[in-house]
Amino acid sequence: MLSTRNSSSIRHSLGMAIILIGIIASSVALAECQPGQMQEANNAYKSAQEFLVNRQWDAAIARMQSIVQVCPEHVEATRGLGTAMMGKGQFAEAIPYFQRVIELRAELAEAGDYANLGKAHARLKQYKEARAEFMKAEKLAPNDCGVLYNLGAMHYASKFYSQSVEVLEHALDACPAISEPVLKLLTDSAGKAAAQQKANGNNDRAAYFTGLAHKYGGQAGGSTTYDMVKKKMKDKDYQGAVTLLEQMLAKDPSHTGGLLTLARAQDQLQNRPASIAAYKKYLAVKPNDENATAAMLQVMVENDQCSLAKSEASSAAGKFQAKGRDVLAPVLYSWGLALECTGEYDAAREKFMQCASSGNSRYASYATRQVERMEGLKAVEEAEKKKAAQGQ
């Protein structure tokens, strides 16, 4: 019979949810006040920020309040008021300030803005409200480790156990640095999901989650083969990692973290057909991972499967388009590489431009340089055509 963890373990898991939340800072201030007022507010904020850093909450609040009196639309000062209120333990008072930040930033609101609001609700044990905010944050930052863990925790606290398992499995794949707390909460979530499904008469689903609870419970709290794999990868012993992964996957072929790591290790060894095969197995289980999709496409281009990569990229772009340009950026970048490989420089330039304009912090700058490369390659192509025509 499946055992459940005691209440202290649950409190620890929810406590970790608060600890792991990162506050994502932004330098954007969307203000309607006059330029002179904005300059005055910005100058005042520089000193106010020191109070925040030094955890001098009362001084920070006084200074931030004077700033928003001058410029009510000052985003950083508004956020600072929420942060200072949180520091003082005045969680209910922090909520309107974090809501105001989201209102001011509108479509420019970031994952951290919603995470801040989620954190305040979580501190008040308003778990369903916190869950809603972390769900918004996850849409904007689907691979952010803090967001994933805390969304899983809020699903758990709100008794959405199946969803907690799904999110935490993704966190386990994407965030090896926090694998220990993820495994503990994942085991709890799977156990609760099994009991919930059984109570609803879904015996097959109950058996599935029971299996997951045993699987992840066996990994939690001790050294595992996957721990050794991660060490091999860190030490750049990719062949050693592959050997361990093949042994592990022979016993557990659906271990998504193992499949994804195998794909990356084989790529490092330039064994690209094996890398592509591992990516395909991983994506069969996790089809909505846009980063892994983009990585596989790049390996396909490197393996001279350019036409196939172009076709796969087109399909992937259609699938991920609804997630927004930032999420779509890695696929656009890989699509550009595939088009370059087939000699379609104009089309490649278009994809790189779309990627560059996405604002994705990882891909935008690289895509900008690729736009310039495509322009250079197109110019060379035109010069060669002109030269050939003149030779005739």
The answer, yes or no, to whether residue 7 has pLDDT greater than 60, is no
Q: How far is CA 130 from CA 161, 196, 245, 359, in A?
A: 15, 22, 37, 27
CA angle at 379 for the pair 374 and 385, rounded to the nearest 5°: 125
Domain 223-287 in CATH 3.40.50.720? The answer is no
CA angle at 185 for the pair 182 and 187, rounded to the nearest 5°: 105
User: Is 223-287 in the same CATH topology as 13-139?
Assistant: yes
What is the torsion angle, in degrees rounded to the nearest 10, for the CA atoms of residue 259, residue 250, residue 171 and residue 131? 120
Q: How many CB atoms lie within 10 A of CB 343?
A: 11
What's the pLDDT score for residue 362? 82
What's the pLDDT score for residue 132? 97
Domain 305-392 in CATH 1.25.40? The answer is yes
DSSP one-letter string for 300-361? HHHTT-HHHHHHHHHHHHHHHGGG-HHHHHHHHHHHHHHHHHTT-HHHHHHHHHHHHTT--T
Least reliable range by pLDDT among 15-29, 93-107, 176-190, 302-316: 15-29
Q: How far is CA 348 from CA 310, 331, 336, 337, 386, in A?
A: 10, 12, 4, 7, 22
Q: For the whole prediction, is pTM greater than 0.85?
A: no
Return the amino acid letter for 301. Answer: V
pLDDT digits (tens, 9 = 90+) for 69-78: 888 989 999 9
CB 371 within 8 A of CB 352: yes
pLDDT digits (tens, 9 = 90+) for 256-298: 889 999 999 999 999 999 999 999 999 999 998 999 999 999 9
pLDDT digits (tens, 9 = 90+) for 209-238: 998 888 888 776 555 677 788 888 998 999
CATH of region 13-139, choose from 3.40.50.300, 1.25.40.10, 2.140.10.30, 1.10.340.30: 1.25.40.10
**Domain layout of the chain by residue ranges:** 13-139, 159-222, 223-287, 305-392
Structure tokens belonging to residue 43: 């100058």
pLDDT digits (tens, 9 = 90+) for 284-337: 999 989 999 999 999 999 999 999 999 999 999 999 888 888 889 999 999 999
Task: Tell me how far apart the alpha carbons of residues 113 and 147 are, in angstroms, rounded to a whole number.
Answer: 11
What's the pLDDT score for residue 391? 66
By the 10 Å C-beta count (0-12 exposed, 13-18 middle, 19+ buried), 269 is classed as middle
pLDDT digits (tens, 9 = 90+) for 58-100: 999 999 999 998 889 899 999 999 999 999 999 999 999 999 9
The answer, yes or no, to whether residue 186 has pLDDT greater than 60, is yes
What's the pLDDT score for residue 51? 87
Q: What are phi and psi of 24, to 5 degrees?
A: -85, 115
